[in-house]
Amino acid sequence: MQDILRLQKKLIPELVDLMEKRYNILRTIYYNEPVGRRVLANTLSLGERVVRTEVEFLKSQNLIEINAPGMTVTSEGTEILEDLKEYVHEIKGLSDVEQAIKEALNLKDVIVVSGDADDDVTILKELGKSAANYAKNQIKSGDIIAITGGSTIKQVVDSFPKMNNIKDVLVVPARGGMGRKVETQSNSLAARLAERLNGTYKLLHVPENLSNDILQTLTRQKGIQEVIQFIHKANILIYGIGRADKMGLKRGLSQEQLDRLEELGAVGEAFGCYFDEDSKVVWVTPTLGINIDDITTLNLHIAVAAGKDKVDAIIATEFGKKNGVLVTDEGAAKKIMEKLNLQV
């Protein structure tokens, strides 16, 4: 297959470009249906005339339907999307990119989703789907899964299918609550993931940025103590990655603390820990839950992050995690390759 793809790219590159364009249009319709032509054109940064032409073609092939509410993908179109995913992945050389990053960061696995999340927000949904597909093949009966909050991790949970082939799975929030949006908090996502996995869940009703004295008092509460014990026993962790400066603001750090983070050289944040460019933890947000010591004992931890502005954060937080899996987008992956001077 690789030889055929190489020949196609060499002899008829315009065919490859056209195929990729139609694939992106079909995928964007799928994740935003029902969607109108103007919204589709704006999402993909394409001219409306180009979109109109391609939409008519997709309709003639019975891959989409056009109704009053907007365009939707047919069952045949959905099948084509799945079949094309691997083809596009290979023709872009993303398998080689995955292997290069995996070796450079010393990770268990790397998954790169075709597309750039900075240009197309639809890619975040594809990112969530890819992470969910990987995770569901790893989860087994009796597992304890810890999950962080955030909009990216919400996409992962939303993409999980209903699984009835496993039992006795427990889902817990990785750390205390953060953020004002209930639907993206770790407690909410833990409950929703448990429902998808036909399992149970436990919640941790503890906000972040509490004083150590208050945290110590809370840990003596029987209900909270029990949840924390389960969190530390988790064997799978699913989490997002953020830039240190942005996450410091989200977590409500004071200006003095933000300045201190900058002095310490923090560039990335994951599960409440802030990492510098040498992948050293330089700051930990006071809260209850998963900590850096737990990472070494976890059987599997899946990091999900997209966007070129997160490249330094991804490298800092993920380097050397032998049981770690990174799921990211093509835009960030190529920037990582550039940053680490990697070649394929």
274-304 tens-digit pLDDT: 999 999 999 988 777 888 888 888 999 999 9
By DSSP bridging, strand 64-67 and strand 70-73 are antiparallel
| Displacement of CA 305 from its chain's centroid (Å) | 5
| pLDDT above 90 for 14 | no
Beta partners for 304?
240, 327
Q: Where in the chain is the domain with CATH 3.40.50.1360?
A: 94-339
| pLDDT above 70 for 2 | no
pLDDT in tens, 192-212: 999 999 999 999 877 666 666
The CATH code for residues 94-339 is: 3.40.50.1360
| pLDDT above 70 for 215 | no
| Euclidean distance between CA atoms 46 and 244, whole angstroms | 34
Distances (CA, A) of 320 to 99, 110, 297, 332: 15, 13, 14, 18
Residue 183 confidence class, pLDDT cut points 50, 70, 90: confident
More confident residue, 154 or 207: 154
| Euclidean distance between CA atoms 57 and 43, whole angstroms | 19
Q: Taking residues 239-253, report their average pLDDT.
A: 91
Q: Hey, what CATH topology would domain 2-91 get?
A: Arc Repressor Mutant, subunit A (1.10.10)
Q: Where in the chain is the domain with CATH 1.10.10.10?
A: 2-91
Q: Which pLDDT does position 287 carry in this prediction?
A: 74
Distances (CA, A) of 222 to 44, 118, 170: 52, 45, 19
Q: Which pLDDT does position 20 carry in this prediction?
A: 87
- Token representation of residue 5: 């793809």
Residue 19 confidence class, pLDDT cut points 50, 70, 90: confident
| Euclidean distance between CA atoms 228 and 209, whole angstroms | 17
Give the DSSP H/E element, type plus range, for residue 224: helix 222-232
User: Residue 160 has what DSSP assignment?
Assistant: P
| Euclidean distance between CA atoms 247 and 163, whole angstroms | 33
| pLDDT above 80 for 268 | yes
Beta partners for 284?
273
* Nearest alpha carbon to residue 275 among 237, 315, 317: 317
**With pLDDT > 90 as the criterion, what percentage of the chain qualifies?**
69
| pLDDT above 90 for 315 | yes
Q: Which pLDDT does position 293 carry in this prediction?
A: 83
| Euclidean distance between CA atoms 178 and 192, whole angstroms | 17
| pLDDT above 60 for 40 | yes
Q: What share of the chain is helix, strand, coil (3-state, %, to 5)?
A: 50, 15, 30
* Nearest alpha carbon to residue 152 among 327, 274, 26: 327
Residue 238 backbone phi and psi in degrees, to 5: -120, 125
Whether residue 70 contacts residue 35, with contact meaning beta carbons closer than 8 Å, is answered with yes
What's the CA angle centered on 123, arms 69 and 33, to 5 degrees? 10
Whether residue 278 contacts residue 268, with contact meaning beta carbons closer than 8 Å, is answered with no
| Euclidean distance between CA atoms 237 and 171, whole angstroms | 10
Distances (CA, A) of 173 to 65, 120, 155, 248, 332: 40, 29, 16, 20, 27
Q: Which pLDDT does position 338 carry in this prediction?
A: 96
Q: Which pLDDT does position 272 carry in this prediction?
A: 87
